[in-house]
């Protein structure tokens, strides 16, 4: 079973920041938080991951709370192309650990 | 270009026939994975492999089989024992050691329709 809880859907206006929350209250010390997104009928695309520090790359920022029980993915200036299903996944770093997907959040960006 | 390739993109088969879905990667990744996705649902893990000649069942392995004879290839066979084979199938690969990064890269999927 997925170890994360996400809202089923969210809306965002184009050009505004999209803040996608994720709860992972049972996360353990060696588990990372990963974010992927899936645009309709395509394979999922890796966005970002982190352990306990906030992370930023060219696509997004990841904010992890101090107790690590929740996180927020931030798309700073959402565009129509960011409309997708966003998956938050908790994964250990040991060998042989597969990604377990939940149902994710459907983000709809509108003009 | 480095990447992961699934073929074909669309596949039609008659009920009762076995069918094999191809997945090839040239990223030199250790681990490979197969997922199934039904409409409006998340991805469910079928099988995964950490190294050549070794693989483990995922959550929904019944009715499927895999092989890992080469590092680059991880074909999935959907057998006649799979009761609802029509679905979108996704293959992925990743390093299997944390210090090299463990993000997974996905292929573009094969949409299998059984009639």
Is A44 in contact with B43 (Cβ distance < 8 A)?
yes
Side-chain-side CA neighbours of B32 within 13 Å: the count stands at: 31
Residue B27 pLDDT > 70, yes or no?
yes
Q: Give A50 to chain B, closest Cα distance, Å.
A: 11
B104: closest chain A residue by CA: A46
Within 13 Å, how many C-alpha atoms sit on residue B56's CB side? 13
| pLDDT 10s digits, A65-74 | 999 999 999 9
Q: What is chain B's mean pLDDT, rounded?
A: 90
Tens of pLDDT along A27-61? 988 888 999 999 988 999 999 999 998 999 999 99
Cβ <8 Å between A41 and B35: no
**Mean pLDDT of the region B81-91:** 93
Per-residue pLDDT, averaged over B11-32, amounts to 93
**Alpha-carbon distance A15 to A18, whole Å?**
9
Residue B106: its chain A contacts at CB < 8 A?
43-45
pLDDT value of residue A96: 65
The order of strands in the sheet holding A84-92 is: A9-13, A105-110, A84-92, A31-38, A45-50
* Average pLDDT, rounded, for chain A: 92
Q: Which residues of A touch B (CB under 8 A)?
A: 2, 32, 34, 41-46, 49, 87, 91, 93-104
Rounded to the nearest angstrom, the minimum Cα separation between B18 and chain A is 24
Task: List B19's β-bridge partners, or say none.
Answer: B78
pLDDT at B31 over 60: yes
Chain B neighbors of A43, CB-CB under 8 A: 90, 92, 106-109
Instruction: Kindly report the nearest CA distance between residue A56 and chain B, in angstroms.
Output: 15
Q: A-chain residues within 8 Å CB-CB of B42? A: 2, 87, 101-104
For residue B112, what are its two tokens?
Answer: 């299998």
Which chain A positions have a beta carbon within 8 Å of B92's beta carbon?
43-44, 99
Over range B35-59, report the average pLDDT: 92
Instruction: Using the predicted structure, report yes or no on whether residue B100 has a pLDDT greater than 50.
Output: no
Query: Rounded to the nearest 5 degrees, what angle is found at the Cα of B60, between the Cα atoms of A101 and B31?
Result: 65
Task: Tell me the nearest-neighbour CA distance from A54 into chain B, angstroms.
Answer: 17
């Amino acid at each position: 079973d997925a170890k994360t809880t996400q809202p089923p859907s969210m809306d965002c206006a184009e050009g505004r920041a999209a803040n996608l929350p994720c709860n992972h209250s049972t996360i353990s010390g060696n588990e990372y938080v990963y974010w992927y997104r899936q645009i309709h009928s395509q394979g999922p695309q890796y966005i970002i991951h982190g352990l306990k520090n906030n992370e930023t790359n060219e696509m997004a920022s990841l904010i992890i709370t101090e107790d690590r029980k929740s996180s927020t993915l931030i798309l700073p200036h959402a565009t129509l192309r960011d409309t997708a299903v966003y998956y938050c996944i908790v994964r250990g770093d040991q060998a042989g650990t597969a990604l377990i997907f939940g149902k994710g959040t459907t983000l709809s960006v509108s003009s | 270009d480095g990447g992961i390739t699934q073929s074909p993109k669309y596949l039609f088969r008659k009920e009762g026939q076995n069918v094999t879905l191809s997945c090839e990667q040239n990223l030199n990744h250790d681990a490979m994975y197969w997922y199934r996705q039904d409409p409006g649902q998340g991805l469910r893990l079928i099988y995964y492999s950490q190294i050549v000649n070794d693989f483990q069942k995922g959550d929904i392995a019944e009715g499927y089989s895999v092989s890992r004879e080469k590092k680059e290839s991880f074909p999935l066979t959907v057998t006649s024992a799979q009761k609802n084979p029509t679905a979108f199938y996704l293959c992925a690969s990743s390093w299997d050691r944390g210090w090299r990064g463990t993000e997974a890269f996905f292929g573009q999927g094969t949409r299998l329709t059984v009639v």
